[in-house]
């Protein structure tokens, strides 16, 4: 028998993915995020797919995975609200504020999160931080504004680099670029998110404070820990 302390990171992701099923409301459409931990949730969701209407997805990759498992995917424009949005995080602080966007789906994730009455974050304990900013902060930007926005972050003490894929700027599902910003320590996430989102050329910043988590299911050596904010 496997004890919690001997679980791998992958096994912890499976545990939290399965634990998130308890927040799925029967008969509803579920908001589904993006990433390796969410993939575990999608796999678990397939086991109860007959009890839900379907899902709204935050990325092409998640949509393809959901559809491959026979789960209907709805367009966000066709849904007035969602009871729950389940997604991972690159970092989460003690108040449920997060950094997201390591997988480049931050704008769509924020849109689906805004539709949801409750955000349930699923993560392993390595993502828990005192202050946001150790993980490079993703910012989705319109390409013509990239260098201007990078200079604004440099004025704040950060270093912004264009995310590359195969030696060229990565292009998001929305046709934009991503800046990854290091060197920041974000002590007021709500104010920071509001400020950066006002900069011309920013599509959205990967700080989730306006759409923060209500619950975090954290995979730990002791099992799944439930944090309520």
**DSSP secondary structure, 14-40, as one string:** HHHHHHGGGGPPTTSEEEE--SHHHHH
Of 91, 109, 140, 193, which one is the catalytic site residue?
109
109 is catalytic: yes
Residue 64's SS3 state is helix
Strand 85-87 to 91-92 pairing: unpaired
Our CA angle for 126, 204, 210, nearest 5°, is 65
Tell me which residue of 83, 84, 76 sits closest to 105, measured CA to CA. Answer: 76
Q: Is 70 exposed, middle or buried (0-12, 13-18, 19+ CB in 10 A)?
A: exposed
Structure tokens at 40: 């575990």
| Distance, C-alpha 192 to centroid of its chain | 18
Residue whose entry in the numeric block shows the structure tokens 């678990």 = 44
Structure tokens at 84: 């729950």
**Which residues are marked as active site?**
109
């Amino acid at each position: 028998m496997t004890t919690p302390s001997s679980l791998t990171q992958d096994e912890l992701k499976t545990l939290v993915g399965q634990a998130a099923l308890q927040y799925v409301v029967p008969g509803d459409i579920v908001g589904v995020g993006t990433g390796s931990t969410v993939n575990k949730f999608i796999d678990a969701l397939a086991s109860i797919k007959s009890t839900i209407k379907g899902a709204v997805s935050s990325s092409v990759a998640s949509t393809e995975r959901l559809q491959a498992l026979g789960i209907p995917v709805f367009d966000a424009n066709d849904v007035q609200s969602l009871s729950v949005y389940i997604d991972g995080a690159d970092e989460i602080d003690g108040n449920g504020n997060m950094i997201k966007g390591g997988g480049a789906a931050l704008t769509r994730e924020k849109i689906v999160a805004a539709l949801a009455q409750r955000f349930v974050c699923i993560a392993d304990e390595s993502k828990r931080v005192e202050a946001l900013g150790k993980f490079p902060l993703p910012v989705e930007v319109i390409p013509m504004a990239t260098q201007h926005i990078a200079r604004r972050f440099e004025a704040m003490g950060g270093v912004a680099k264009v995310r590359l894929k195969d030696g060229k700027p990565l292009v998001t599902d929305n046709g934009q670029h991503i800046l990854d910003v290091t060197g920041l320590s974000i002590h007021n996430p709500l104010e920071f998110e509001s400020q950066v989102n006002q900069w011309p050329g920013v599509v959205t910043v990967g700080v989730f404070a306006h759409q923060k988590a209500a619950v975090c299911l954290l995979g730990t050596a002791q099992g799944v820990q439930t944090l309520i904010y």
